[in-house]
Amino acid sequence: MSNVRIAMLGSGFVAEFYLQGLANVAGHEVVLNYSRSTKRAKAFATSWGIPESTVSLEKAIARDDIDLFIIALPNEEHLPVSLMLSKARRNQVCTKPLARNRNEAKQMLAAARRSGKMHGYAETEVFSPCVVKARDTIVNGGVGRVLWVRSRESHSGPHSPHFWDPAKTGGGAMNDLACHCIEAARYFFGKEEKVVEVMAWGATLVHHAKTKGEDNALLVLKFAGGGIGHCELSWTTKGGLDLRNEIHGSEGSIFTDVTRGTPIASFTSKPAGYIIEKADIDHGWTRPLPEEAFAYGYQAEMRHFVECVRDGATPRETYEDGYSVNCILDAGYQSMRSRRWIKVKY
């Protein structure tokens, strides 16, 4: 068939990563990008060679020559934009977290199902090559039965101001980062084994002037089979993005480290350009990460969604997965407030 024609809804940080991922994906073309700002829309289109940009969401969604709409917008925009896409019966992919809470995610999932069109949940963690390889090792019996998964996602804080406002995003560091760790744990244990109960702690330790949300959090997931997922989240970690997983089973263990175990180490006395996402300095001892979009999973997930549209297939990450993550996050925030274990309601 002809190329899958894509509209990128959003012209910010995550949209940049999606375009980096798509740069190495065959069989597609990005024909339109949308932004709420004319200046940002035009700048993004110029930067990526996109033939058309718009600030009219209605006009973008009304186009029937676009095969896939990618929602790369702030969290508060996910629900209304997704509902518009579902009403127009458009294929859609949404960045993480799917919504600000369980209720919004439920509406998005129900509408997408009614539309009869493809819906994909863009959770990069489970498309990261090292995470996929870890899952292959588990499936092949390498570590026996998975007992405990520990994941860490941390950095020194978000780039965009809206992330610091819990009313706009749905929460603080746990909402922003635990969605990755939760889905990694579900991936490693197997999605057929549900998270049934959670315990969480969170506090604002550093960024008191910036946010009313937590800038550090711990989240423990109890799986139906008795296994445990342990998630560490922080917006106060210096040195760039810290992204690690440990999988411990009855017969062995697996360790992944995307950002602190890079194949390059350098010492520069002067700034030497971009280092890694959320890097706090660009000189001295640094660990640059080659091919970030590939290492994080952006390239693999974008290729997967393009192929699903082309082949009429169901993605391996859908709004159902995003909804499950939101249910777990909601239970986590309830636990954070009550300081006790909370059963997850799906």
Instruction: Please report, for the domain that includes residue 194, its CATH number.
Output: 3.30.360.10
Q: Are 116 and 160 in a shared domain? A: no
**Is 24 within a domain?**
yes
Residues 61 and 176 in one domain: no
Sign of CA dihedral 66, 89, 94, 44: positive
The two tokens of residue 127 are 């498309």
Q: Could you tell me if 245 and 181 lie in one domain?
A: yes
Domain span at residue 271 reads 126-291+327-343
Answer yes or no: are the C-beta atoms of 171 and 199 closer than 8 Å. no
When pLDDT is averaged across residues 246-257 and rounded to a whole number, the result is: 97
241 within some domain = yes
Same domain, 312 and 334: no
- Where does the pLDDT of residue 261 fall: very low under 50, low under 70, confident under 90, or very high at 90 and above? confident
Q: Which pair of structure tokens corresponds to residue 297?
A: 């999973």
Q: What is the pTM of this model?
A: 0.94
* Beta strand segments in 44-114, E: 53-54, 68-71, 92-95
* Residue 223 domain-assigned (yes or no): yes
Q: How far is residue 117 from each of residues 23, 216, 317, measured CA to CA in Å?
A: 25, 38, 14
Pairing of strands 216-223, 195-203: antiparallel
Confidence of residue 239 (pLDDT cuts 50, 70, 90): confident
Categorize the per-residue pLDDT at 1 as very low, low, confident or very high, splitting at 50, 70 and 90. Answer: low
Please give the average per-residue pLDDT across 226-246, as a whole number.
95
Q: Do 183 and 79 sit in the same domain of this protein?
A: no
- Paired strand residues for 267: 285
Number of structural domains the chain divides into: 2
- Answer yes or no: is 322 within a domain: no
How do residues 69-112 score in pLDDT, each as one tens digit? 999 999 999 999 999 999 999 999 999 999 999 999 999 999 99
Q: Are the CB atoms for 263 and 233 separated by under 8 Å?
A: no
Helix axes 319-338, 173-189, angle to 10 degrees: 120
> What number of CA atoms fall less than 13 Å from residue 48's CA on the CB side?
26
For residues 290-305, average pLDDT: 94
**pLDDT interval class at 264 (50, 70, 90):** confident
